[in-house]
């Protein structure tokens, strides 16, 4: 049996062909059965799709575009990070859902059934207690919440996490990649069956709730809030912060989020943009008339994730890989505060790789401004 379990590769080459070649050279090991990649949207995606397919040939490969890449050396930008998985330790199956809007309960059940059957055919280990699901979604779709709820109805208790694709904060087009093509308005569901111990987790750094704002006019389909407290939404938000409207930006949104309380817990509903025509606010997560949005103070951004990873490492030992979906608004906060070196140390210590997302997924729920992922331990699951 191969001693290699996973390999992480990074390319900063801007030419798609060179980038594909660099990744292949780093991942070219016996028994690599599956490649997961995350790429900047600045690449010529049609060319990249073809070169990745041609380069990796028989290896199944899926991925998505990002709002930044995450590697063991810290944050990257305008790059590609790819993770290769060994067939000695992993049986991995993936399904493309070309239309998130048309995904229903029957589709969810058949998707999970096919993923389970495909993984079982590899005869690696039992599905139950040895598998998790990873979702990659179009990050500018308004169907993310419904898709995740529908999928979760069929998962049979299998833990699930994931991330929504980004586009380098251009808010124009986000894509998922499946076997030679990039797709919009689509999703990829991946089942990972493994003999290694693992734990799916999620954490945020909300510290204290402060003022409350009621959504008094909104369009749920487009995630647009027209009014907060019966005032133009952007004006009311700017007033809350004692700021001029013209100074609102993604950087401001990252440091001053709004949250909704569900089941005693606060979940962030991140603001995507100000719509100048009517002073409305578009969000990355579901919003609707009548919900109460609470302004929250944020704590230390590293404490919760460090504590979580420490706890898991005490249970399972050293990580083989922490596959991360790290909200791009967390990245903006870290960069504004000059904390990039802390990211490098954390990522190196826990072998973290992944991407900066437009939204995170955990067991059927769509979230913002969280660090979500799976801790894959180096030891075998007993």
pLDDT digits (tens, 9 = 90+) for 7-63: 999 999 999 999 999 999 999 988 999 999 999 999 999 999 999 999 998 899 999
pTM > 0.75: yes or no = yes
Give me the pLDDT at residue 206, please.
93
Measure the CA–CA gap between 2 and 234, rounded to whole angstroms.
Answer: 56
Give me the pLDDT at residue 1, please.
63
Tokens of 109: 């059940």
Pick from 152, 61, 65: which is nearest to 105 by CA?
152
Q: At a CB cut-off of 8 Å and minimum separation 6, what does 165 contact?
A: 64, 65, 66, 136, 137, 138, 139, 174, 175, 176, 357, 358
Give me the pLDDT at residue 128, please.
95
Give me the pLDDT at residue 208, please.
86
Tokens of 212: 């409350």
Give me the pLDDT at residue 262, please.
83
Give me the pLDDT at residue 74, please.
96
CA distances from 134 to 162, 261, 274, 337 (A): 5, 26, 31, 31
Give me the pLDDT at residue 264, please.
84
Q: At a CB cut-off of 8 Å and minimum separation 6, what does 275 contact?
A: 224, 234, 281, 282
The answer for 88, left when phi > 0, alpha when psi is -120 to 50, beta otherwise, is alpha
Provide the residue ranges of all domains of the chain, joining segments of one domain with +: 6-203+302-377, 206-298
Residues of the chain with pLDDT under 70: 1-2, 380-382
CB 66 within 8 A of CB 176: no
Give me the pLDDT at residue 379, please.
72
In a 10 Å sphere around its CB, with 0-12 CB exposed, 13-18 middle and 19+ buried, how is residue 315 labelled? exposed
Length of the chain counted residue by residue: 382
Give me the pLDDT at residue 84, please.
98
CB 326 within 8 A of CB 355: yes
Instruction: State the fold for domain 206-298.
Output: Elongation Factor Tu (Ef-tu); domain 3 (2.40.30)
- Tell me which residue has tokens 């397919």: 53
Q: What Rg, from alpha-carbon coordinates, does the chain have?
A: 20
Give me the pLDDT at residue 2, please.
66
Tokens of 70: 């995450």
Give me the pLDDT at residue 30, please.
84
Give me the pLDDT at residue 209, please.
87
């Amino acid at each position: 049996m191969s001693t290699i379990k996973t390999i992480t590769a990074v390319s900063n080459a801007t030419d798609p062909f060179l980038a594909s070649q660099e990744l292949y050279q780093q991942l070219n090991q016996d028994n690599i059965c599956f490649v997961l990649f995350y790429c900047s949207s600045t690449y010529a995606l049609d060319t990249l799709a073809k070169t990745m397919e041609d380069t990796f040939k028989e290896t199944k490969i899926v991925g998505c575009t990002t709002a930044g890449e995450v590697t063991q050396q810290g944050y990257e930008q305008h790059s590609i990070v790819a993770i290769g998985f060994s067939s000695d330790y992993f049986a991995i199956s993936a399904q493309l859902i070309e239309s998130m809007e048309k995904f229903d309960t029957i589709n969810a059940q058949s998707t999970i059934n096919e993923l389970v059957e495909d993984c079982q055919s590899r005869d690696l280990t039992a599905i139950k207690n040895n598998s998790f699901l990873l979702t990659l979604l179009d990050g500018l779709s308004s169907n993310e919440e419904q898709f995740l709820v529908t999928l979760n109805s069929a998962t049979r208790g299998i833990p699930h996490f994931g991330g929504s694709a980004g586009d380098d904060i251009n808010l124009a087009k986000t894509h998922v990649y499946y076997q030679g093509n990039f797709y919009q308005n689509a999703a990829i569901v991946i089942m990972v069956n493994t003999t290694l111990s693992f734990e799916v987790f999620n954490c945020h750094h909300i510290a204290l709730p402060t003022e409350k704002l009621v959504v008094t006019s909104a369009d749920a389909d487009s995630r647009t809030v027209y009014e907060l407290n019966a005032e133009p939404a952007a004006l009311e938000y700017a007033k809350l912060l004692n700021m001029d409207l013209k100074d609102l930006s993604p950087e401001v949104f990252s440091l001053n989020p709004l949250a909704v309380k569900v089941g005693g817990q606060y979940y962030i509903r991140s603001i995507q943009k100000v719509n100048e025509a009517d002073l409305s606010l578009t969000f990355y997560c579901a919003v609707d008339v009548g919900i109460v949005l609470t302004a929250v103070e944020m704590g230390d951004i590293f404490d919760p994730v460090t504590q979580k990873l420490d706890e898991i490492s005490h249970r399972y030992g050293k990580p083989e890989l922490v596959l991360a979906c790290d909200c791009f608004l967390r990245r903006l906060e870290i960069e504004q505060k000059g904390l990039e070196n802390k990211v490098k140390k954390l990522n190196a210590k826990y072998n973290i790789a992944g991407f900066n997302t437009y939204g995170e997924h955990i067991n059927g729920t769509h979230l913002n401004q969280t660090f979500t992922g799976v801790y894959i331990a180096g030891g075998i699951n007993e």
